Amino acid sequence: MTQADPQIEALAAQRLAADEERITGQARRRQSLTLSAAWREFWRHPSPWLISTFLVASVIARIAVGRGSWWELLVPVALIALFPVIEWVIHVAVLHWRPRTIGPLTVDSLLAREHRAHHADPRDLPLVFIPWRVLVWLLPTYVVVAWLVTPNSAWMLTLLVSVYGIKAGYEWTHYLVHSDHRPRSRWYRSVWRNHRLHHYKNEHYWFTVTSAGTADRLFGTYPADASAVPTSPTVKRLHDLEETRG
């Protein structure tokens, strides 16, 4: 893989920033947020605390269970390998869910509503995070599923540790991409640019958040030439619907 031209990367970042300002009508208040400042801001929101609490509780429980098998390491390895696909499916099928009416009922989850609001204003930091209510609701679901698909409590807890570890990584990456911290590493520049394109160029492409060109390539949502992709008129109004919060 060839090294990206720094001038091209700088130009892309400049254009994306200008497009963001044009669309949102807001100039950047912080041109360069340090990583330490971003880290402090991250912990001002409830989601990181909840995820960390569940992660630490899972680790303590796993240690309490005692010695297990080296084969348990297959659990985090498999989850990390599959996560780009899992992330893509959740983004497309859950977060970009189009509300449907079945008789007197409207099927429209809190996650989908919050995500539409997130697209309407990507600069609103509270909307970047997973809603705390969803994290609370998911906890018993994760426990039951982990119990059903694993052979014993050691494997079950290893699975829960892996799930919450990956979730913590996702939450940090997604927040950082939406913050004013400027990309430095090659990986982060790619992730940052692709997610900005998803929010400010076209919502039908670039669905992965923690990786670039993985599941999107697999499912045909990673254009070879981003400049050839038309700017979507509904990039800030998913399904051309008014934003709905809560």
The lowest-confidence range among 28-32, 45-49, 83-87 is 28-32
Q: Using CA atoms, how far apart are residues 155 and 23, in angstroms rounded to an integer?
A: 48
Residue 180 located in a structural domain: yes
Residue 191 included in any domain: yes
Residue 54 pLDDT more than 90? Answer: yes
Q: Which domain holds residue 207?
A: 36-240
Q: What is the pLDDT of residue 20?
A: 56
* Per-chain mean pLDDT for the chain: 89
Listed residue (28, 19, 240, 234) closest to 123, CA to CA: 28
**Predicted confidence (pLDDT) per residue in 222-245, tens digit:** 999 999 999 999 999 998 876 655
User: How many domains is the chain built from?
Assistant: 1
Return the pLDDT at 29: 47
SS (H, E, C) the chain: CCCCCHHHHHHHHHHHHHHHHHHHCCCCCCCCCCHHHHHHHHCCCHHHHHHHHHHHHHHHHHHHHCCCCHHHHHHHHHHHHHHHHHHHHHHHHHHCCCCEEECCEEECCHHHHHHHHHHHCCCCHHHHCCCHHHHHHHHHHHHHHHHHHCCCHHHHHHHHHHHHHHHHHHHHHHHHHHCCCCCCCHHHHHHHHHHHHHHHCCCCCCCCCCCCCCHHHHHCCCCCCHHHCCCCCCCCCHHHCCCCCC
pLDDT of residue 200: 95
Instruction: Report yes or no on 233 lying in a domain.
Output: yes
Span 84-94, mean pLDDT? 98
- 31 within some domain: no
> pLDDT value at position 2?
40
Does residue 80 fall inside a structural domain?
A: yes
pTM of structure = 0.85
Q: What is the pLDDT of residues 170-224, one digit of tens each?
A: 999 999 999 999 888 888 999 999 999 999 999 999 999 999 989 999 999 999 9
What pLDDT does 239 receive? 87
Mean pLDDT of 145-151: 96
Q: What is the pLDDT of residue 109?
A: 94
In-domain check, residue 5: no
Q: pLDDT at position 7, please?
A: 53
User: What is the predicted pLDDT for the residue at 12?
Assistant: 52
pLDDT class for 15, splitting at 50, 70, 90? low
Note every long-range contact of 50-57, with CB atoms under 8 Å and residues 24 or more positions apart, other chains counting.
Answer: 50/132, 50/135, 50/136, 51/130, 51/135, 51/164, 51/167, 51/168, 51/171, 52/168, 54/135, 54/139, 54/160, 54/164, 55/161, 55/164, 55/165, 55/167, 55/168
